[in-house]
Amino acid sequence: MRNMRSFIIVGIFFLFLGGAFIIYFSQTEEKGVFILEYHRINDQDDDEYTITTKEFKEQMEYLREQGYKTISFMDFVRAKKYGEKLPEKSVILTFDDGYEDNYTEVMPILAGYGMKGTVFIISNRVGLEGYLTWEQLKEMQTANIELGGHTANHLPLASLPPQKIDDELRLSKLLMEWNGLQTIYFFSYPNGSYNDTVIKDLRKNGYLTAVTGTPGVNTFATDPYRLQRTYIPRSKLGLLDFKLRLLKSRLYTKFNIRQNII
């Protein structure tokens, strides 16, 4: 009987401790910039990479309620270089692959909230069915959307020979600039695949930052070619999923798990 009672007391103690742990860390604000990773936002496709417009709006409203301000990679780089202050709670919204709904859905939704975003383009897919056109890209760049590179053909870079890596990084950038887009400075690794050769080549070709798929928040001490990013797939539990993904990134940074600090 006594054993039973102490068992229950110990059990309650650990439950309390676990609860306190979760509450503490969900309220701790890690200083730094969140970078969120999206792909498609629309109400037609139904897969992991597509978020419905309703869900996306809920997430944007949550960020706004929590006091987050959207910034661009250019804002981040300039603040780092010139010692400018970023908003207390900053977030960069990124969209990989250059899908057409980034123009039809994302751009107007973000504009409605007074927010900005960054779209990473696969240059050889521009104008193909379901992807953005050069005209749309030009218009986006003059509105609230910053553009970045995501290679020419979306190949896993770490598995390629150096010459092929250079082709993927250099030619895609040139093609975008030749087609009338403003200079491309920012990059996203297809499938999060990179190595030292890739980073060296990015520097050589004038890219200033690159994002990975490793969760975490970013500070000016984070390697600019290995920025931490929070992946946001289609949710199973609604907004709770989104909050847990943000929390996961905070915890990874808090406990220094795979953080790319230099």
Site residues (CB under 5 A) for Zn ion? 96-97, 190
Of 68 and 189, CB closest to Zn ion: 189
Q: Which amino acid type is present at position 254?
A: K
Of 121 and 246, CB closest to Zn ion: 121
- Residue whose beta carbon is closest to Zn ion: 96
Query: DSSP per residue over 10-46, as a string?
Result: HHHHHHHHHHHHHHHHHH---SSEEEEEE-EE-SS--
Question: What is residue 120's three-state secondary structure?
Answer: strand
Of 148 and 216, CB closest to Zn ion: 148
Of 155 and 174, CB closest to Zn ion: 155
Residue among 240, 262, 246, 222 at smallest CA distance from 93? 246
What does the block give as tokens for 13? 């103690």
Cβ of residue 254: shortest distance to Zn ion, in angstroms? 28
Cβ of residue 82: shortest distance to Zn ion, in angstroms? 31
Cβ of residue 40: shortest distance to Zn ion, in angstroms? 11
Burial classification of residue 18, based on how many CB atoms lie within 10 Å of its CB (0-12 exposed, 13-18 middle, 19 or more buried)? exposed
Of 90 and 102, CB closest to Zn ion: 102
Cβ of residue 91: shortest distance to Zn ion, in angstroms? 20
Question: What is residue 149's three-state secondary structure?
Answer: strand
Cβ of residue 127: shortest distance to Zn ion, in angstroms? 17
